[in-house]
A and B are shown apart, each in its own frame.
Chain A
Amino acid sequence: GDSVTQMEGPVTLSEEAFLTINCTYTATGYPSLFWYVQYPGEGLQLLLKATKADDKGSNKGFEATYRKETTSFHLEKGSVQVSDSAVYFCALTRSGNQFYFGTGTSLTVIP
């Protein structure tokens, strides 16, 4: 069945460091891929998405490229800020009716 595997945390970085959070998926066909972010005490918010191979999703300095050959959708940011501290979830859907989420990666950015 469809599934998402993402890098386990927690991840702690200094401000302005480079961030990578790995995400790989298993799915038949061509799923849409997402990164969601959850700030403390809040629900999940869509951060970025990509709907076909080689698409790059980007938002707020974060980027992820849909790599079908490696079934990956790694999240990157060149220079993290304290305000980026949150939990990040990788997710996929093929139909829009069933979403599969990873276990979440907690990021803490220290000044």
Chain B
Amino acid sequence: DARVTQTPRDKVTEMGQEVTMRCQPILGHNTVFWYRQTMMQGLELLAYFRNRAPLDDSGMPKDRFSAEMPDATLATLKIQPSEPRDSAVYFCASGYDGYNEQFFGPGTRLTVL
């Protein structure tokens, strides 16, 4: 059945390194959301796209985070340089305009040492 996929599932890196997380939304979906989940802050919206265009990325630290959709089947979230405080689980979700539901991927667990 159709589902959102995310890679990698786990990533351990050292402070200062670049991290790229990838998401494949469900085929046909035209909205993509990036969330970050931590114990302290809960679920935070980082960015969302509609028809590959960024609509809101106000939740993202602009100096180090960037999100893109090179094509309709791939969304990326990049952190450069990474810091220990970026350690979290990052979720991608996709949906379709006019259909009020989001479908979440399994997440990428990022640990920055």
Which of A's residues lie within 8 Å of B, judged by CB? 32, 34, 36, 42-46, 49, 51, 89, 93, 96-99, 101, 103-104
Which of B's residues lie within 8 Å of A, judged by CB? 4, 31, 33, 42-43, 45, 48, 50, 55-56, 91, 93, 95-107
| A96-B95, A98-B56, A101-B43 as given contacts; A43 in contact with B102, CB under 8 Å | no
Complex CA gap A110/B107 in Å reads 27
- How many inter-chain residue pairs (CB < 8 Å) link A and B? 51
Which residue of B93, B103, B106 is within 8 Å of A42 (Cβ)?
A: B106
| A32-B100, A44-B104, A45-B104 as given contacts; A89 in contact with B43, CB under 8 Å | yes
Which residue of B42, B91, B93 is within 8 Å of A103 (Cβ)?
A: B42
- For the complex formed, measure the closest distance between the CB of B36 and the CB atoms of chain A, giving whole angstroms: 12
Complex CA gap A45/B102 in Å reads 9
Q: Are A97 and B104 within 8 A (Cβ)?
A: no
Contacts of B101 in A (CB 8 A): 34, 46, 49, 96
- For the complex formed, measure the closest distance between the CB of A100 and the CB atoms of chain B, giving whole angstroms: 9
Q: Are A43 and B105 within 8 A (Cβ)?
A: yes
Which residue of A44, A49, A104 is within 8 Å of B91 (Cβ)?
A: A44
| A43-B91, A44-B91 as given contacts; A96 in contact with B97, CB under 8 Å | yes
Q: Are A96 and B42 within 8 A (Cβ)?
A: no
- For the complex formed, measure the closest distance between the CB of A107 and the CB atoms of chain B, giving whole angstroms: 16
Which residue of B42, B45, B99, B104 is within 8 Å of A43 (Cβ)?
A: B104
